[in-house]
Structure formats: C-alpha cells, structure tokens
Amino acid sequence: MKQGLMRGLAAFTASLCAVSLVAASYAPTRSAFINSRLGTVSYRLEDTGEATGDSYYFESEFESLSDLLDAKKQLAEQIGAEGTVLLKNNGALPLDASTEPVTLWGHNSVFTARGGMIGSTAAAGEGQEDVNLIDAMFQRGFQLNEQMIGLLTSEEAFAYTRQTFFPGAGLVPSFEATWEQPAVYLVGEIPASMYTDDVLASADGTAAVCVITRDSSEAADYEPMMFNGSEGDSFERPLALSQYEKDMIELAKQHSTKVIVLVNADNPLELEELKNDDDIDAIVWAGEPGVYGFLGVADVLSGAANPSGRLPDTYAVNSASAPAMQNFGLYMYTNNSNSGSASGDVAQLTTDNKGDWYVVETEGIYQGYKYYETRYEDQILGQGNAAAAEGSSVDGAWSYANEVSYPFGYGASYTTFEQKLDSVNVAVGQIGSANVTVTNTGNVAGKSVVELYVQTPYTNGGLEKSAVQLVGFAKTSELAPGASETVTIEIDPALFASYDENVTKTDGTVGAWVLEAGDYYFAIGNGAHNALNNILANKTGSTDSLISVNADEQISADNAIVWNLAAGDFDTYSANVQNAIQNADINKLIPGTAEYTTRADWSKGWKTVESITPTADMMVGLTNSTYSLNENGEGVTWGADNGLMLVNMMQTDENGNYSGVLDFDDPTWDQLVQQITLDEAIHFIEFAGDDIENIDSVLLPRTYMNDGPLGFAYDQIAGYSTRWTSADSSNPYYVDSKSPEAKYSMATMPTEPVVAATRNIELIRREAELYGEDALYAKETICIAPGANLHRTPYCARNHEYYSEDPVLTSLMATNFCDAASTKGLVTQVKHFAFNHQELNRSGLSTFMTEQAARENELRCFQKVMSTNATGTIMTAFNRIGTTYVGAYSGVLEQIARNEWGYKGGYVTDLVNGSMYMNWLDTVYGGGGTMLGSAANWEGTTLGTMEDAKSKIAKDTAFQQQMQYTLKTWLYSCAQSNILNGISNDTKIVKVTPWWLAAIYAAAGVTAVLTAIFLFFGFKAGKKEA
C-alpha cells in the first residue's frame, strides 16, 4: 500500500521533472522572446576599462523621446498633406473651416482605413494620441455635423461595421492554403434608410465630405467576383462603389451645398461615375495615411496645405480590365494535392510540397500604365490592332477614353503651374539630366511635381517596349504666385534600357540590356498620359486626335525633346549580365502554354492559363528536392582564434562616430568569419528571426529585427520600452517601462502609396531617419521595410506595403529610404524579393513570367537599392519563381543580385511557418541566407533540423562555404549598424542566467530530488511488504 503511494508520488514528481527538463532544453531557444516579455537578459556587455570615448557610433539628434515623437507626428502630417491627391475640383475646395459647416457622410468615416492588417497595422499605443479623420477635422477647426456623427457612431450603425479581426477591417487574411477564391468583402456602409429625417435635415446647408473606404491586409486579396458581405448591400466589383455608397452619395447631393468625395483606400477604386457626375464637386484621394496623416488631409481640405500629390497607380474605369487581371487568382496544377491525381510519370503533389498553385503573368511588360498608355499610342497611330475589342470595358472597339479615369502620375492643385522642359542631356553610360522650369501661374502658393518620362524606339514586332515610362521626378519648393523654379532631374539610361533575352554578346553569353538605335522622346507631363500626349504631339505634329481624360490637361509638343541614339548599345549596362531566369517562362518549360500580351497585336494575351500539368523537370522544384548534402572538398575553418571582433570592422571618424566599414573584399572578413564555430553558424542561420542570434565569438550581440513599413509594428514590439531591461539603464536612449512613452506605438506613419504620392524625396529620407531614431530609442536594429514589390494589379490587398505600379518610382523611393535609414545605423530589410504579386496562396505559389518582364518591372524595383547596397538585408518572398522557391533561386539571388548588381548584404526568408519548401538546405545552398523562423518546423521531417544534420554538414564543404558567405554578408551589414553602439575593443559578453531559466533548473532539480526520495521510500516499503 505504502509502496503504491510512494510510486505514484514519484510518478507525479518525475513527470514534472520531465516537463522541467524539456523546458530547460527548449526555453533557451526562445530566450529573446521570453526576455523581451519579462524584462530579463541572457547576457550583458561589460567593458574591461581601457577604451576611450563613449563607443556610441550612431547618436540621436533629439534631446528626448518626446522630441522624436513630436517630429514623427509633424512629418506624418506633412506626408499626409503632400501625399493627398486632388483628382477633381470645380472650385468647391478648399473649404473654409471657420465658416463652412461640414457633414461627414459614410459609415466608414468613423472606421477609416489608416494602414493594413498584420505587419503594417497603424496603431496608437497606450496613452498615445490617436487621430482619426473626425479627430483631425475637429483639430483643424472644422465645424462637423455632430448629429450625423451621432448616427454613424450609434449602436445601430455599428452592426454594419467592417469587422473581421477588428472593427474597421473588412478583409479576411488567411495563412492557410485555400482551394476557393475569397468570396466576401465587407464594405461596411449603412443603408440609406438608416439616415433619419432629422439627421438629413441637419446636413442641409453643410458641405458634404463623403468617405469611401477599402481595406488593406497581408495574406488577403480582392477578387473581381467577390460579393458584398454587408447586409443588403451589393457591388459589381469590390473596387467599384457599392450600392449603399452610391445611395449615401445621392443623399449627400440632396442635402448639401457641395459634395466632396474622400477616397480612403490604397487600392485604386473605380471613380469614373463620380468623375463624370457634375453634382460631385471634388474628389480627393487620401490613401491610408497612418495614425496622424488625416491631419494633413484635413489641411488640404481647409486649404492650409495646397495639394501636390500625384497618383502612384492608374485609376482605371474597370480595374479588372488590364491584361494582368486575366491571370490573377487561384489556379492549380492538375496533379495538386487536393483533388488532383498523378498524371503519367508525374506524381501527385503533397501538402508538404506546398506547390499546388501557380500564376502566369501573361501580360509581359505591360503592367499598370505601361499597358493602358502603350495601347493608347497604338490606338492613335493606328497600329498593333489596338482597337480590337479584347480588353475593352465597353462593348465594341477598345478606346483609351473608355478605360482610364485618372492616369498614373496625375494630380491637381488649388493653383496652376506652367512647366517647361528646357533641356535634356543624355549620354549612354553616364548620368544625364533634364532641366524643367516651373512657374506658379495661379493665385495660391504651392508645390509642383515634375515627372520626366521617356519613349524608347519601338519596331513593330520587335522587342516589346512601353510607349512611355517614368525616368525620374522632382518636386519644387513652395512657389508663391508668379514665382518660378528650375528643377533638375537625373537621367540614368539604365532605367529605360530594355532586356533582350535573345541577344548573344561577344563573350558568348545570352541576354543583355539594350538601348536600340533611334529616337528617344523625353517628355514631362501631369502624369504618364499627359507626357505621352506631349510625345505624340511632337511626333505627329498634331493634337487633333489625341484623347484627354482630364479637363485640365495641357498638351504641348514643346514639352517633349527628342534625343537620337545613332548606334544601338548592348554592352554598357550588361557587365556580368546573362539570362538567369529562363525557366520562369512557362512557354520554355511547356511550349505554347501561355499567350503573352504583345504590341504587335493587342487582341492577344487575354487567355487565362486554366490548367498546367508540370513536367518531370518542374517537379524537382515543386517537390523541394533541388539540393542534397554530400561529402565534398577539403572542409572549411571554424572556430579559429584570430583575435578579431565585429567592432574592428567598423571605421570611425575623429569624433568616434561611424564613418564606414572595411571593404567587403578585405580578407579580414574571412578571418572574422572563421572565428565562428560551426555550432554558432548553425544556430545563427537556423534561428534568424524574429531576432538575430548573438555570435559570441565575434561579439555580435543579439540583434532585434521587426516589421515594418509603417514603423516598427506595435503587435511585434508593444512600445519603446519592450526591448530594454534595467541592465541597459546607462544607455542614453534607454526607455524605462514606467515612462509615459513606454508603450507608445512606432507604427504610426502613412502607408507606402501615400508616401510615394508625395513624390518628395526629402520627405521619405526624413521618414527613414526618424525610423532610425525610433530604432535607437527602442533598441532595434533591423526594420523589415520598405516593401518594394510592384503593384502588378489593383487587386492585391497588400499593395499598401508597396509604393507603386511603376518600378522607377518604387526604386527611387526604396533606395532613398534605405540610404537615409543607414545614416542612423538602422539596417533596412527590403521585402519581398521577389514577385510577391498576390497574397492568395502566396506560400509556394509558382510564378511564371518572361525574363524581360521580370527584369524591366519587378526586379527594377529592387535593383538600385541593392546595387548601391543602400539596404543591408533583403527578405525573400513566399512564392516560387517558376517552380523553384524564390528563397533558394540562385539565378536571382546570386547571378542577378550579386554578380550583376553587386549586392553584398544578407538575405533572410519570410516567416518559415511549417512549409517544407522553405527548407534550410535549399535556402542556404541556393544563396537564400538565413531562416526567419524556427528549426522546429523540420523536426520530425526527413530533412530534420540543421543541428540534427551537423555531422553531414561538416563533411559538405560547398554547403559550409555558403554558410560562411551568408555569415559574412550579415556581419557586413551589422557592422554598419547601431548594434555596435556601446561596444568597444574592450567589451566582453558576459552570460547571465535569467531568473526564469534558473527557476526551470530549480524545478527540475527539486522534482528530481523528490522523485529520488519517493522512490527510495517506495523501494523500502516494498521490501518491508515483501
């Protein structure tokens, strides 16, 4: 009896001991997360006393965190104002806030979209000022109709709120594989019947501001076939106005002195109806402007700021009319894991393969305005079968007038400007310039954006060319009425070179950047369409047949200048260049699968690729079996005693501030890397996120890395104090957990399309500097931003994390952001490299495109920021290129990015969420760097963890060389960062056992002792009983 009791107690305590031992083994792998939540540390840095100076290589320009917060708020307001785009105005704007009472219409004026969901949620923290549209308008002195606000904030209206995860979110993000397209979107508008007579009467005599809102989100997309989930409401397409929205605007028209529509969405909405409605006095695009951006929007409405934003995307009459939309959504291989089956020699895919879906980008280079404007030129010139009915939004022949409401780059002002293209200076292989004189010819002070476009020579049936493409832009200072300013825009011919996949160069390699001989038309204009009209006027000598879609368009042949290139150039921009992603073209894998859009015949390129059966070659990538470990080479050196520290690689000026880093090719880097042990290397690569593991052997402290594009994400770092512990209290930027700003959010800035709309390089550079300041005060080093993917279609709900449909605009924004951030020691992590063009089933999605399209559009977005090494790290995407996981696709990661562009920074995967295709073996071998996630995802799989495979890794020299290269790229970036603040040559890492780990050890010890005691008495009792 007694023995049973003792045995049972022993079983209980031994079970607890087992749990404690498992915890003692596992918890240290999550120490960063636990420490950040409990305010503890696992190590501390200690100076041994000899170093001089403060060892702070990156210092804040602010006296306090409060000053920084004020600066961020002011900047957000300015971006909000300069990013606001005036699309239509019959004189109704600006409003006089002091004399014109305003009624806010639309339920979404209460639940505006200010950012996206997940990594880029706009959020105010505990105790932090939170400014929504209503707050902003009150703060700016507007007299708002409070009776209407009362209705819109009532419980009855709340029932209609867009609400999936939280009020004001109408999309349903999904991280799971889906076999059906998302069918529902909640618009969130209330029915007209809810507006009572009293409320309607209260709006009489007021100016109406009608708010139209659409959401943004990671892991979600809009689909043209969606239906409106709001009870009783409907729409033709989710980016078109819903019936309730139309009804609301009709009521506003009946009860208001003037009607202003405020577009609160980053995805281009269909505004043609409103544009053509004479009773709509003004349309203003505000995008999703973050926590404080509506203050700037209110300034535009009141006239305190003169709008100067330009559209980052084309606003089409029907957003689904572009050729890119013909292949956007859900397409599955015939042998998919759900309902498919084996097909001939090709086995059925498994869920582990995560390879069931594909998308074929049949539009080729004709994405965004490059489609609409190029087809327009061919319509005007009567070539390429441009008037064919295919792609027309109306019955019959295609015409630009029926297709575009507001062209890319368009934006109006409260004043008028005259822009004159004075000169262009172009030379192949050099940075040229264009001079443009801008004069304010109106009565109000304001800024003007100058956009320079180019048309390159096109031969019918030859290399595909866009009729117009952006070369650069500039923004004037605020010009008083009558004042002039001459701005200069850089011309880099590399930005408009075309990629020819078929040309064989003198060295025998195939593929080159080419500038064909002929006339190049450089033109300015209020948007791409205006620039093209200027080109056509110059080219044809007539404006008679030209189509204007904006009443204020001024066409001038003088604003286009011709530059002639006598002989074609294949060499200047083709150093180290060769075809690298040919197997992303489905027609080169399975001939005849896709029909690409072509200028030679616009009736082609409208077919949906409904079905693909992968070939055996394609299955290699789809089944994640590209690489394997094997014994090779002589091995590499690990754990060498070379006496180096990472801080030795940083160069400082006479004041002890950062001034540079040792050249990437200096052999000292190799010596530094060789100090790292194989265990450290495995741990670093396998656990590279959300934090970067410390490497004691080179004295790299633990490095914090978090989202995102609106500032460090609040759901990842809940405030400035999160990363600090009392051990850091001597740091000049330490934020105590009890300070008033401790829980303030950093994710307050406007979304990327709004920033792009400012066309103001100074603003984006300042934004990046303030992110860098945030990093100092929040003890962060790497910001997973900016997003630099292209807006391939208007329907991707993650477009808010990316700047634009134009690669040059995206490239210049991203490059300036990253370059400015680096001056503060903030390492940026540009994402999602590359081709993340839809969020639906993004994990493992096979993405097919031609190499020309890939290089001229999407890759051009990333090229400059990587070739200048303005960014220190790159996050790869979830999708595949062709059938190979992008994070293991050496053609892009190594050949294009490193060999052609000269990128030296690190790569990291996106979140490894249990998907086998994102495995460490393919990633490291393919040049994809480190893994954002946990090795636990491979435990129990045939691959196992890196740690499990250590003995095999130790025999594979090629793999270890890739590991060391990965380490070098990361250390190279970290040596340019604030992570070395406080570290000198005399600093040492001292390991500390945090109390929670000590408690786990103690629990294991106590339960082990108790077990032993119970067992002892159990056996003793057993003997007695015997």
Task: Please report, as ranges, the residues that interact with other proteins according to CB under 8 A.
Answer: 3-5, 7-8, 10-12, 14-19, 21-23, 26, 30, 118, 165, 173-176, 219, 715, 913-914, 933-934, 936-937, 939-940, 1022, 1025
CB of 631 to other proteins, least distance (A): 24
CB of 935 to other proteins, least distance (A): 10
In angstroms, rounded to a whole number, what is the distance separating the alpha carbons of residues 551 and 339? 53
The helix (H) or strand (E) run that includes residue 528 is helix 528-540
Asked if 118 and 163 touch (Cβ cutoff 8 Å), the reply is no
CB of 998 to other proteins, least distance (A): 19
Closer of 3 and 731 to other proteins (Cβ) = 3
Asked if 313 and 239 touch (Cβ cutoff 8 Å), the reply is no
CA dihedral 62, 65, 71, 73 (to 10 degrees): 170
CB of 118 to other proteins, least distance (A): 7
Closer of 296 and 933 to other proteins (Cβ) = 933
Closer of 611 and 941 to other proteins (Cβ) = 941
Closer of 174 and 671 to other proteins (Cβ) = 174
CB of 15 to other proteins, least distance (A): 4
CB of 36 to other proteins, least distance (A): 13
Closer of 29 and 587 to other proteins (Cβ) = 29
In angstroms, rounded to a whole number, what is the distance separating the alpha carbons of residues 307 and 88? 11
**Cβ partners under 8 Å of residue 80, min gap 6:** 286, 289, 290, 292, 293, 294, 295, 296, 297, 299, 750, 754
Instruction: Compute φ and ψ for 454, nearest 5 degrees.
Output: -140, 145
- Residue 931's nearest CA partner among 682, 620, 630, 674 is 682
Closer of 990 and 1026 to other proteins (Cβ) = 1026
Closer of 10 and 581 to other proteins (Cβ) = 10
CB of 654 to other proteins, least distance (A): 47
Closer of 30 and 991 to other proteins (Cβ) = 30
In angstroms, rounded to a whole number, what is the distance separating the alpha carbons of residues 516 and 498? 8
In angstroms, rounded to a whole number, what is the distance separating the alpha carbons of residues 437 and 12? 84
Closer of 174 and 587 to other proteins (Cβ) = 174
- Give me the residue label for tokens 């996106």: 910
CB of 9 to other proteins, least distance (A): 8
CB of 39 to other proteins, least distance (A): 19
Asked if 819 and 868 touch (Cβ cutoff 8 Å), the reply is yes
In angstroms, rounded to a whole number, what is the distance separating the alpha carbons of residues 848 and 861? 18
Report H helices in 186-238: 197-203
Closer of 812 and 911 to other proteins (Cβ) = 911
CB of 1007 to other proteins, least distance (A): 11
Beta partners for residue 443, in sequence order: none
Per-residue three-class SS string for 710-735: CECCCCCCCCCCCCCCHHHCCCCCCC
**Cβ partners under 8 Å of residue 542, min gap 6:** none
Closer of 118 and 190 to other proteins (Cβ) = 118
Closer of 315 and 1014 to other proteins (Cβ) = 1014
Structure tokens at 435: 């001079």
Asked if 505 and 512 touch (Cβ cutoff 8 Å), the reply is yes
| CB-based burial label for 96 (10 Å; 0-12, 13-18, 19+) | exposed
SS3 371: helix
- DSSP assignment string, 797-841: TTGGGS--S-HHHHHHHHHHHHHHHHTTTPEEEEEEETT----TT
Closer of 138 and 175 to other proteins (Cβ) = 175
Closer of 24 and 620 to other proteins (Cβ) = 24
Asked if 806 and 757 touch (Cβ cutoff 8 Å), the reply is no
CB of 167 to other proteins, least distance (A): 14
- DSSP assignment string, 400-458: GGGTEEE-TT--B-SS-EEEEEEEEE--TTS-EEEEEEEEE-SSS-B--EEEEEEE---
| CB-based burial label for 481 (10 Å; 0-12, 13-18, 19+) | middle
Closer of 4 and 732 to other proteins (Cβ) = 4
CB of 180 to other proteins, least distance (A): 15
CB of 581 to other proteins, least distance (A): 30
CB of 934 to other proteins, least distance (A): 6
In angstroms, rounded to a whole number, what is the distance separating the alpha carbons of residues 375 and 466? 9
CB of 707 to other proteins, least distance (A): 12
- Residue 680's nearest CA partner among 667, 666, 696, 669 is 696
SS3 740: coil
CB of 911 to other proteins, least distance (A): 9
CB of 741 to other proteins, least distance (A): 24
- Residue 259's nearest CA partner among 411, 99, 86, 92 is 92
Please give the distance of CA 598 from its chain centroid, rounded to a whole number. 29
Closer of 54 and 939 to other proteins (Cβ) = 939
* DSSP symbol at 385: T
How many CB atoms are closer than 10 A to CB 63? 8
CB of 227 to other proteins, least distance (A): 21
Closer of 186 and 776 to other proteins (Cβ) = 186
Q: How far, CA to CA in Å, does 427 sit from each of 2, 478, 493, 835, 865?
A: 96, 32, 8, 31, 23
The alpha-carbon radius of gyration of the chain (Å, integer) is 30
Closer of 450 and 949 to other proteins (Cβ) = 949
End-to-end CA distance of the chain: 11
Tell me the residue ranges of DSSP E strands in 106-179: none
